[in-house]
Amino acid sequence: MSVIQRWLDRFCYKHPRFGIPNLMLIVVVGNGLVWLLDQFSNGYPLSSLLSFAPYYILQGEVWRLITFVFVPESSNPFFLLLSLYFYYWIGSILQQHWGVTKFTVFYLLGLVLNIAAGFLVYLFIPMPVVTATMYYVNLSLFFSFATLYGEMQVLLFFLIPIKVKWLAWLDAALFGFYIFSSVAQIPRIGIFALVGILPPVVAILNYLIFFWGDLMASLGWARQRAAHHGSRQTVNFRQATKHAQQTKGYIHKCAVCGKTDTDYPDEEFRYCSKCNGYYCYCSEHIHNHVHIE
């Protein structure tokens, strides 16, 4: 996974003009236009001619390989407008953070993986049905945004303030629920459960390809931090600090001049990592003392 991530980073660096500027604006406007045209279709919605159905693609309707990106996720105008605004907002921020090329590669890779998953479903279910949408790929955009801007606060339904990372955890729980419920249906509906399993898996894969290295680095940092807090040296240092405060009336004392944090509360004290033991020094002597062996 890390190899793919590095290769994609190099590709984006070497091909700065590959991207599509304002890609999310194109997607959002396309969704809005298709929804409007569906309202005047007299029972023959345009979205049915644009959706991803391998049965019809193999019969020559190859435009469906691209046009299913513009099929609205909801027929409800309120929820559609809310989702389109949200995806445009996070897409614009990600494009500014990554650059046009990397953002385009992320979205197109999700598109390609989604197409592959849709045809895989069709191999087992050769019927004229929709086998892929962009719903989960758009959610992978949100996972990416939450990874980069998890502490950002948004207004849920324009009313409830909540941090982006908590919304991402909620979506991750929903992903897990969809996958688990689809797997649980295998004994009852058999291979048809692939329709519920593959789309969220594809979205997670698209996300991991771009963030695997960052996730592994964060995991390694968390392990190192836990090991540091549980190490004997850290524990002994805490015990020594507590003992000094209880018996001597101060916590820090310069080993050269004798200043303490009680007598000089505004003074900055530090411990020297090169001295053999827990020796504290004031700001004047932290870089001006003989190291104790």
The predicted-structure confidence for 64-106, as pLDDT tens digits, reads as follows 899 989 988 878 888 888 888 888 888 888 888 888 888 888 8
Q: What CATH number is associated with residue 181?
A: 1.20.1540
| 192 and 248 housed in the same domain | no
Burial class of residue 198, CB neighbours in 10 A (0-12, 13-18, 19+): buried
Q: Residue 260's domain spans which residues?
A: 232-282
As a whole number, mean pLDDT of residues 173-186 equals 75
Least confident of 7-11, 50-54, 134-138, 254-258: 7-11
pLDDT digits (tens, 9 = 90+) for 249-269: 677 788 888 888 878 888 888
| More confident position, 113 or 234 | 113
Does some domain include residue 211? yes
pLDDT digits (tens, 9 = 90+) for 223-232: 555 554 555 5
Two tokens at 31? 């969704």
As a whole number, mean pLDDT of residues 134-162 equals 77
In angstroms, the Cα distances linking 224 to 135, 211, 213, 221 are 37, 20, 16, 5
Rounded Cα–Cα distance for residues 59 and 199 (Å): 24
Q: Give the Cβ contact number of residue 217 at 10 Å.
A: 10
| 76 and 200 housed in the same domain | yes
187 neighbors 161 (Cβ within 8 angstroms): no
| 17 and 137 housed in the same domain | yes
Does some domain include residue 223? no
| 96 and 236 housed in the same domain | no
- What pLDDT does 248 receive? 61
pLDDT digits (tens, 9 = 90+) for 269-293: 888 877 777 788 888 888 778 777 7
Q: Does 154 score more than 80 pLDDT?
A: no
| 254 and 179 housed in the same domain | no
In angstroms, the Cα distances linking 53 to 35, 58, 178, 191, 235 are 19, 9, 22, 17, 62
212 neighbors 2 (Cβ within 8 angstroms): yes
pLDDT digits (tens, 9 = 90+) for 9-37: 777 777 778 888 888 899 999 999 999 98
219 neighbors 211 (Cβ within 8 angstroms): no
CA dihedral 195, 200, 206, 208 (to 10 degrees): -140
- How many domains does the chain fold into? 2
| 249 and 271 housed in the same domain | yes
Please identify, among 192, 218, 244, the residue that sits at the C-terminal boundary of a domain.
Answer: 218
| CA end-to-end span of the chain | 46
192 neighbors 125 (Cβ within 8 angstroms): yes
